[in-house]
A and B are shown apart, each in its own frame.
Chain A
Amino acid sequence: MIKKLSSYKKGQPLIKNAYMSYALFGLFLALMPLFGYLGIIKSSYVTIIASVIYYSIAALGLNVLLGWTGLISLGTAGFMGLAAYISAYITYNMHLPFEIALVTAVVVSTLLGVLVGYISLRIEGIYLAIATLAVAEILRKTFEVFDPFTGGASGKPISYPTLFFFYKYSRADLKIFETLLYLILVLFLIAVMILVHNLMKGQVGRALNALRGSEAAAQAMGINLLKYRLFAFGFASATASLAGVLYVHYNRYTNPDRWLLALSLNLVAAIIIGGVRNIYGTILGVFIVVATKDMVLAQIPYFANNPNFALMFNGILIILIILYYPYGLIRIGADLKKLVVKIKEKF
């Protein structure tokens, strides 16, 4: 009996190689449009899953900052919006290819993020949250009033960009472009997952863990606080801006109301619900926060009639998880397995 338990504890995962699991996960996501086409899932679900993908990209970077480094940012929406507007302007108004817009938007917002990271050396905790919130609100207000660049409060509609430097959008290609952009989303998500995996399992991840766990020990072990805080903020804003760029081109529209504090808070909630310092947990969390409202709760008549009550669902979930399940819902699988083993041994 004891032997059985101990052999289970070693926990042979279904897929041993982490990269293999990411690739399979990516393949699974990439098949969604096909499932939609074949009628296995509602085709509107593909759009919802796409939103889970770009918000997951932002949330993964935020998890590096919040989960691994232990610093809070409520500015994610601001950085996403900034990159979205920059990219929209470059492709739609300046008629430059998507790739150039992507690089420019990510670089500009990341530099701004690094600047905020510099502030984080002076202020901490709730004050840092307020400072990042202020940055995001300033950005949002700018989107509203800076008409020629952003289209003001009524928003900025754009068309699909030129892809791979030559592939121009025409009306006949609508379906192809939609699917192509979806696949690009999947590719970027998998790339960010692998990037976070690689960085967090090695020296950089340990350094960030040390910053969170004990600043004194980190410094005594030669970890440069400034360097790693800037890295964490830079990484979080880079992924947020990448997500913003993907958002605006997939939806072909943005307005200032898309980049509210609620979005930043939802991403923080997603990390807490799904799993702090866990890659799949982050995505599960985003799925719960972003998609359950439309895919699950909307099926229940009560929630369908009162969509705002869906927010309550998230709130209750956060409270329950912080109180009783601090490592997030991603642990549920492993814990259930343990339970099954326990029950089996009793009989």
Chain B
Amino acid sequence: MDELQNKTVLSIQDLSISFGGIKAVDHLSFDVDEGEIFGLIGPNGAGKTTVFNCITQFYKPNHGSIRFKSKQGKTIELTTHKVHEVIGYGLVRTFQNVELIKELSILDNVLIGGHIDFKTSFIGQAFNTKKSKAEEALYRQEAIEILTFLGIADRKDWLVYGQPYGILKKIELARSLMCKPKLIILDEPAAGLNDLETLDFAKVIRQIRQRYNCSILLVEHDMRLVMDVCDRICAINFGKFLAVGTPGQIQKSPTVQAAYLGTENPA
């Protein structure tokens, strides 16, 4: 396996996956650079979420390689790893339909994101050793700091159940920040948010990049948000690569326009 070039953090090459006869992703390749906000766009059913699921190993691709420069500084072929191992390398995701634990408090939900950082064994926790207590206190503090950064620390002890959608999205984001990620994958972060919340979210995404010095890969339908925050965008349709470039280039690309708007003279 080739080491990744010094600026690339995630490199997808020739990725393909099919479900039965449907090719959800078809020989797709793109790179994400360090510190970049990268958007993945495409019409409904283009395979964007499938790409995400392949990267995070929820799906095992049929073909292709997904290399990632881990926070330990090594290049890793993600396809050879199990789904729960991915986060250990600094790759974390959120979900399109928020996946939180309703019966737990907001703080506890965020602490789930720190799961892999806990080093105390079952036995140590069973006896509530000093080490276990110290660790819990440390990550609790960290979680509160993240919640403060996102502006929702005042409700940290409330249950997730019954929180408004905008808050739920922020809790999920806070949870993903607990592992000090190198790359965050956001699956439709603005879906279900109103205009004001979307604007706020765009600001938050930029702040996260600055504060955590990480890259962000996002799928989004809200074109204003995508064009506003992304450094580069990759457009796909029916699992196939269409174009990659800056928001300006993508807007002008004839293939992208054709995919979204259709063509005057269908071939």
Which residues on A are within 8 Å of B, measured CB to CB? Answer: 195, 198-199, 202-204, 206-207, 209-210, 212-214, 216-225, 231, 277
Q: Are B83 and A221 in contact (CB under 8 A)?
A: no
Complex Cα spacing A202 to B131, Å: 12
Determine how close the nearest CB of chain B comes to the CB of A202; give it in whole angstroms. 5
Determine how close the nearest CB of chain B comes to the CB of A215; give it in whole angstroms. 9
Determine how close the nearest CB of chain A comes to the CB of B52; give it in whole angstroms. 10
Which residues on B are within 8 Å of A, measured CB to CB? Answer: 56, 58, 83-88, 92-93, 95, 99-104, 108, 111-113, 115-116, 118, 120, 122, 125-128, 132, 136, 175, 179
Additional 17 contacts, C-beta under 8 A, given A207-B112, A220-B56: A198-B125, A202-B120, A203-B115, A203-B118, A203-B120, A209-B101, A216-B99, A217-B95, A217-B99, A218-B112, A219-B58, A220-B58, A220-B84, A220-B87, A220-B92, A222-B115, A277-B103
Determine how close the nearest CB of chain B comes to the CB of A216; give it in whole angstroms. 5
What are the residues of chain B within 8 A of A203 when measuring CB–CB? 111, 115, 118, 120, 125, 136
SS class, residues of chain A in contact with chain B: helix
Determine how close the nearest CB of chain A comes to the CB of B199; give it in whole angstroms. 27
Q: Are A217 and B126 in contact (CB under 8 A)?
A: no
Q: Are A202 and B132 in contact (CB under 8 A)?
A: yes
Q: Are B128 and A206 in contact (CB under 8 A)?
A: no
Q: Are A202 and B115 in contact (CB under 8 A)?
A: no
The one of B92, B103, B122 in contact with A209, judged by C-beta atoms closer than 8 angstroms, is B103
What are the residues of chain B within 8 A of A225 when measuring CB–CB? 84
Question: Which of B84, B88, B116 has most A Cβ within 10 Å?
Answer: B84
- 3 nearest A-B residue pairs (beta carbon): A213-B101, A217-B99, A222-B116
Given contacts A206-B112, A223-B84, contact A199 B125 (CB under 8 A): yes
What are the residues of chain B within 8 A of A222 when measuring CB–CB? 84-88, 115-116, 179
Complex Cα spacing A210 to B115, Å: 10
The one of A202, A209, A213, A223 in contact with B125, judged by C-beta atoms closer than 8 angstroms, is A202
What are the residues of chain B within 8 A of A221 when measuring CB–CB? 84, 87, 92, 112-113, 115-116, 175, 179
What are 12 A-B contacts with C-beta separation under 8 Å? A198-B125, A202-B128, A206-B104, A210-B115, A213-B101, A216-B99, A220-B87, A221-B115, A221-B116, A222-B116, A224-B84, A231-B122
What are the residues of chain A within 8 A of B125 when measuring CB–CB? 198-199, 202-204
The one of B86, B87, B101 in contact with A210, judged by C-beta atoms closer than 8 angstroms, is B101
Which residue of B has the minimal Cβ distance to A67?
B103
Which residue of B has the minimal Cβ distance to A214?
B99
Q: Are B84 and A213 in contact (CB under 8 A)?
A: no
Q: Are B84 and A204 in contact (CB under 8 A)?
A: no
Complex Cα spacing A206 to B115, Å: 8
Determine how close the nearest CB of chain A comes to the CB of B156; give it in whole angstroms. 15
Which residue of B has the minimal Cβ distance to A212?
B101
Given contacts A221-B113, A224-B84, contact A206 B58 (CB under 8 A): no
Determine how close the nearest CB of chain B comes to the CB of A320; give it in whole angstroms. 21
Q: Are B83 and A220 in contact (CB under 8 A)?
A: yes
Q: Are B103 and A213 in contact (CB under 8 A)?
A: yes
Given contacts A222-B88, A223-B84, contact A216 B95 (CB under 8 A): yes
Q: Are A223 and B115 in contact (CB under 8 A)?
A: yes
What are the residues of chain B within 8 A of A206 when measuring CB–CB? 104, 108, 111-112, 115
Q: Are A219 and B136 in contact (CB under 8 A)?
A: no
Q: Are B126 and A219 in contact (CB under 8 A)?
A: no
Complex Cα spacing A178 to B129, Å: 35
Determine how close the nearest CB of chain A comes to the CB of B128; give it in whole angstroms. 5
What are the residues of chain B within 8 A of A231 when measuring CB–CB? 122
Question: Which of A203, A207, A214 has most B Cβ within 10 Å?
Answer: A203
Which residue of B has the minimal Cβ distance to A227?
B84
What are the residues of chain A within 8 A of B127 when measuring CB–CB? 198
Complex Cα spacing A199 to B175, Å: 21
Which residue of B has the minimal Cβ distance to A213?
B101
What are the residues of chain B within 8 A of A199 when measuring CB–CB? 122, 125-126
Determine how close the nearest CB of chain B comes to the CB of A235; give it in whole angstroms. 9
Complex Cα spacing A220 to B59, Å: 12
Complex Cα spacing A339 to B128, Å: 36
Question: Which of B85, B86, B113, B136 has most A Cβ within 10 Å?
Answer: B113
Given contacts A203-B115, A204-B125, contact A219 B83 (CB under 8 A): yes
The one of A198, A209, A217, A224 in contact with B128, judged by C-beta atoms closer than 8 angstroms, is A198
What are the residues of chain B within 8 A of A209 when measuring CB–CB? 101, 103-104, 108, 112
Complex Cα spacing A103 to B93, Å: 43
Q: Are A220 and B122 in contact (CB under 8 A)?
A: no
Given contacts A206-B115, A222-B84, A222-B116, contact A217 B100 (CB under 8 A): yes
What are the residues of chain A within 8 A of B108 when measuring CB–CB? 206, 209
Determine how close the nearest CB of chain B comes to the CB of A111; give it in whole angstroms. 16
Question: Which of A217, A225, A277 has most B Cβ within 10 Å?
Answer: A217
Complex Cα spacing A212 to B103, Å: 10
Complex Cα spacing A279 to B104, Å: 16
What are the residues of chain A within 8 A of B104 when measuring CB–CB? 206, 209, 213
Q: Are B126 and A220 in contact (CB under 8 A)?
A: no
Which residue of B has the minimal Cβ distance to A215?
B99
Q: Are B112 and A210 in contact (CB under 8 A)?
A: yes
Complex Cα spacing A296 to B128, Å: 39
Determine how close the nearest CB of chain A comes to the CB of B139; give it in whole angstroms. 9
Which residue of A has the minimal Cβ distance to B57?
A219
Determine how close the nearest CB of chain B comes to the CB of A17; give it in whole angstroms. 12
The one of A202, A212, A214, A277 in contact with B100, judged by C-beta atoms closer than 8 angstroms, is A214
What are the residues of chain A within 8 A of B112 when measuring CB–CB? 206-207, 209-210, 217-218, 221, 223
